[in-house]
Amino acid sequence: MVFGRAKKMESNSKKEIWIKDWPRFINRLFLDAEPYLSVRGDMPHAKVSHGYAIVLMKEEGGDQRIIEPAIILHDVGWSRLERQAISAAYGVRAKGSEWRNLNRVHEEAGEAIAREILEGYSYDPSLIETIASIIRAHDSGEEARSIEEAVVKDADKLWRFSEIGFSVETRRQGISPMELYQHLENNRESWFFTRTGLRLAEKELQRRKYLLKPQKDHYPTI
């Protein structure tokens, strides 16, 4: 617990850290997001997608002051849904109006939580608006209105293609590697907004191919 002067010092040190020390700000954002992300076990997703966002940004451009907070905070809204609702709203088999409504809830709740977190850093209000609008439509929006939005959406999707993402998603959704692989292969062309995103997804998909072979193929023969 922090009292009086100590509390004031803490809030002063938080303010505008994003201007003075960007890497420290990013670490602190992950810490702020952790209680929300841990509800669905989404910290690995946020870390991996953040890594892809950095790679995409190097190739495609975009403002890191928008992209990095948006990708770190984009899924904090899952914390507002019950476990059962989360599984109905998410994954290969999620369909219909119930899915759409629940998916909207995680986007809108995520926007509200992200605003609150960023305001605590006295973050630039116009940047908060842009980040909030990206989070509000990160799953439901069918287009990318800026390069920043394109990078965030592509980085989010690339998680499913990554080694850890592929294995987490098969377990979480209760589907076989083959089912997920086919879902990714069938949808990849329509999902990505940037060339780099699609190129990375195809590269990762090639690397996941071995998971489709029978397990015995992985053992050396004598």
Number of Cβ within 10 Å of residue 131's Cβ equals: 28
Residue closer to Fe ion by CB (options 89, 118) is 89
In which element (H, E) is residue 131 found? Answer: helix 125-136
**Smallest separation (angstroms) from Fe ion to the CB of 158:** 10
Binding to Fe ion by residue 154, rule CB under 5 A?
no
Question: Cβ of residue 104: shortest distance to Fe ion, in angstroms?
Answer: 11
User: Is 53 exposed, middle or buried, given 0-12, 13-18 or 19+ CB atoms closer than 10 A?
Assistant: buried
- Residue 75 binding Fe ion, by CB under 5 A: yes
Instruction: Using CB under 5 A, pick the residue from 156, 161, 184, 197 that binds Fe ion.
Output: 156
Shortest CB 10 distance to Fe ion, Å = 30
With CB under 5 A as the rule, give the number of residues binding Fe ion: 3
The minimum distance between CB 112 and Fe ion, in angstroms, equals 14
Listed ranges 72-80, 81-89, 168-176, 186-194: which one lies at the site for Fe ion (CB under 5 A):
72-80
Least distance in Å: CB of 49 to Fe ion? Answer: 6
Instruction: Determine the residue type at 114.
Output: A
CB of 120 to Fe ion, least distance (A): 22
DSSP state, 221? P
Of residues 72 and 118, the one with the C-beta less far from Fe ion: 72
Residues 157-196 that bind Fe ion (CB under 5 A): none
Q: Which one, 32 or 75, has the nearer CB to Fe ion? A: 75
* List of long-range contacts for 194-198, beta carbons under 8 Å, 24+ apart: 194/56, 194/59, 194/60, 194/147, 194/150, 194/151, 194/154, 195/60, 196/55, 196/56, 196/59, 196/60, 196/154, 197/56, 197/150, 197/151, 197/154, 197/155, 197/157, 197/158
Query: Binding to Fe ion (CB under 5 A): which residues in 92-151?
Result: 139
Q: Which is nearer to Fe ion, 68 or 139 (CB)?
A: 139
Integer Cα distance of 69 and 78 in angstroms: 17
Closer by beta carbon to Fe ion, 122 or else 167: 167
Residue 90 backbone dihedrals phi, psi, to 5 degrees: -135, 145
- Residues contributing to the site for Fe ion (CB under 5 A): 75, 139, 156
